[in-house]
A and B are shown apart, each in its own frame.
Chain A
Amino acid sequence: MGLKTAFYDTHVLQGAKIVDFGGWEMPLHYGSQIEEHHAVRRDAGMFDVSHMAVIELKGARVREFLRHLLANDVGRLKIPGKALYSCMLLPSGGVIDDLIVYFLSDNWFRMVVNAGTRDKDLAWIRRHAAGFAVEVVERRDLAMLAIQGPNARQKLLPLLAPAHRAAALELAPFCGAAFDSWFIARTGYTGEDGFEIMLPAADAAKTWVDLCAQEIRPAGLGARDTLRLEAGMNLYGNDMDENHHPLESGLTWTVAFEPSDRDFIGRQALQALRDAGGPELVGLLLEERGVLRSHQTVMVAGIAAGADAVAGTGEVTSGTFSPTLNRSIALARVPKTHASGVQVEIRGKWHAASIVKPPFARHGKVLIPV
């Protein structure tokens, strides 16, 4: 038996197809993954994301600790409640995990990490926190919900105390705040507006039912994956891992090389890799019928002269059918190229795909030429 979130019984009552995900029994869909996807792009949907781990970091030197631990710079966080997306790296530059960290006060930060990497993340964080006298506590008492879509924020308001509604609606993107026992942040993993909410696990089931009454559609991990891929967002374990660093994973923007005197784990390796001209993560749009899937081989022509990339082949890291584009899309790690397209091997046959710049779709709109 896998682990269950505080919403598990509710999922089963609503007819969810349950699958194992990182050791957790999670809803894949509640009938139609594609309809759930469209509900989020067009209206409002909600996801149980309680399998992810919430970690509190407390201590007088917590900011100094995180500036060493993370590739992005929490020194940028000045306003309490502000969030930052970052990778946590090995000295080799390989990615241990990607995460969101919230600045709550000068001696208190909160981190949200992936479910499948929870144990190794905690071990790594604790190992390095000791030297900074930072206390590391996992919040297993919290459940977590993502409410996403153009109408999601409005639909949540009736569940909040009238005094809190204006403040919740005024939260800026990538900012969070406490409202009684809830922590609400304007973040997400779908490319739509919305909130992610941390709440006491004891409130979870009732809250889910109340949100259903607001016509927020339950959506499973299937729709979560197609939405995040359309939005051009990476999935840990697919698009980056301990053997692949941020610079070859489309995550250069998350590595703060400046200021140059900040000594974060992985900096030395990444600085060397930055000049080496390795492969890059690109978006692909399949020109023919079929579906791109992770691990399919990608053949690339027109590789830049002098690149030391291997013989013109790469690999799809995440691929799917995009319900918004009605076409197949993918992220792929390929040698740097000037070519506008590639060939992808699907069940023994080569199919043409064009190279595009993610995101593919966000805020209800297609963002690439189709």
Chain B
Amino acid sequence: MSNIPGDLRYTKSHEWVRSLHGEAPDGTVEVGISEHAQSALGDLVFVEVPDAGRVLKAGEACAVVESVKAASDVYSPVSGKVTAGNAALATQPELLNQDPYGTGWLFRVQTSSPIEDASLLSAADYAKYLADAAH
């Protein structure tokens, strides 16, 4: 069974979202891809993250993760303005494989609305979604 931390929210396209309470301005969230997603992609060799200042709409393709085999788009789970991309991934794309919920984060977004309002999945719902998709 895939590792799905309970304190994050998820999308059906396998991104996760973390609220950065106290660590960043209100409404700032961190975005990455799930353990399941990195495992399905295989060894990652190239990651392109959005530049700070870019304005994103929820559902917009805004990052690219490439494994040896294929390139995949990453979609922003929320609307808002990018405050940072994870620069470490430029030289260490393998962080996404090794630590997808930690040092392998992709980008941070200052959102205009709380993520609880967005149509994001809870950890339990994402786990159920993965289990259903496997059958």
A residues near B, CB below 8 A?
17, 28-29, 32-34, 222, 226, 289-291, 293, 320-321, 323, 328, 347
Cα A17 to Cα B69 in complex, Å, equals 13
Tell me if A347 and B64 are in contact (CB < 8 A): yes
Tell me if A291 and B42 are in contact (CB < 8 A): no
What are 22 inter-chain pairs, A to B, with CB distance below 8 A?
A28-B42, A32-B43, A33-B42, A33-B43, A33-B68, A33-B69, A34-B43, A34-B45, A34-B68, A222-B42, A222-B69, A226-B68, A290-B48, A290-B66, A291-B45, A293-B70, A293-B71, A321-B45, A321-B66, A321-B68, A323-B68, A347-B71
B72, chain A: closest CB distance, angstroms: 12
A319, chain B: closest CB distance, angstroms: 11
B126 interface hit (Cβ, 8 Å): no
Number of interface residues of B (CB under 8 A): 12
Of residues 73 through 125 on chain B, the ones whose CB sits less than 8 Å from some CB of chain A are 90
Tell me if A289 and B46 are in contact (CB < 8 A): yes
Tell me if A291 and B66 are in contact (CB < 8 A): yes
- Choose from A29, A320, A328, A347 the contact partner of B42 (Cβ within 8 Å): A29
Given contacts A32-B43, A289-B46, A321-B45, contact A222 B64 (CB under 8 A): no
- Choose from A33, A34, A222, A291 the contact partner of B46 (Cβ within 8 Å): A291
Cα A108 to Cα B90 in complex, Å, equals 55
Tell me if B68 and A222 are in contact (CB < 8 A): yes
List 12 additional A-B contacts (Cβ < 8 Å) besides A28-B69, A34-B68. Answer: A32-B42, A32-B43, A34-B43, A222-B42, A226-B68, A289-B46, A290-B46, A291-B66, A291-B71, A293-B70, A293-B71, A328-B46
- Report A-chain residues with C-beta under 8 Å of the C-beta of B42: 17, 28-29, 32-33, 222
Residue of B nearest to A37 (CB): B68
Residue of A nearest to B47 (CB): A289
A-B contact count (CB 8 A): 37
B37, chain A: closest CB distance, angstroms: 14
A138, chain B: closest CB distance, angstroms: 31
Residue of A nearest to B64 (CB): A347
Cα A323 to Cα B44 in complex, Å, equals 11
A286, chain B: closest CB distance, angstroms: 10
B70, chain A: closest CB distance, angstroms: 8
Cα A34 to Cα B69 in complex, Å, equals 11
Q: Which of the listed residues A17, A291, A328 has the most CB atoms from chain B within 10 Å of its own CB? A: A291
- Report B-chain residues with C-beta under 8 Å of the C-beta of A226: 68
Residue of B nearest to A17 (CB): B42
- Report B-chain residues with C-beta under 8 Å of the C-beta of A320: 68
Cα A33 to Cα B40 in complex, Å, equals 12
- Report B-chain residues with C-beta under 8 Å of the C-beta of A289: 46, 90
Q: Which of the listed residues B42, B45, B64, B71 has the most CB atoms from chain A within 10 Å of its own CB? A: B45
Cα A125 to Cα B76 in complex, Å, equals 54
Cα A328 to Cα B45 in complex, Å, equals 9
Cα A226 to Cα B45 in complex, Å, equals 13
B109, chain A: closest CB distance, angstroms: 22
- Report B-chain residues with C-beta under 8 Å of the C-beta of A34: 43, 45, 68
A296, chain B: closest CB distance, angstroms: 11
- Report B-chain residues with C-beta under 8 Å of the C-beta of A293: 70-71
- Report B-chain residues with C-beta under 8 Å of the C-beta of A328: 46
Of residues 54 through 75 on chain B, the ones whose CB sits less than 8 Å from some CB of chain A are 64, 66, 68-71
Cα A33 to Cα B45 in complex, Å, equals 11
Cα A44 to Cα B68 in complex, Å, equals 21
- Report A-chain residues with C-beta under 8 Å of the C-beta of B68: 33-34, 222, 226, 320-321, 323
Residue of A nearest to B45 (CB): A321
| 6 shortest interchain CB distances as A-B pairs | A321-B45, A34-B43, A291-B66, A33-B43, A321-B68, A291-B46
Cα A73 to Cα B64 in complex, Å, equals 48
Cα A34 to Cα B44 in complex, Å, equals 9
- Report B-chain residues with C-beta under 8 Å of the C-beta of A28: 42, 69
Tell me if B71 and A321 are in contact (CB < 8 A): no
B42, chain A: closest CB distance, angstroms: 6
Residue of A nearest to B46 (CB): A291
Cα A293 to Cα B45 in complex, Å, equals 13
A243, chain B: closest CB distance, angstroms: 24
Cα A291 to Cα B46 in complex, Å, equals 7
- Report B-chain residues with C-beta under 8 Å of the C-beta of A290: 46, 48, 66
Residue of B nearest to A32 (CB): B43
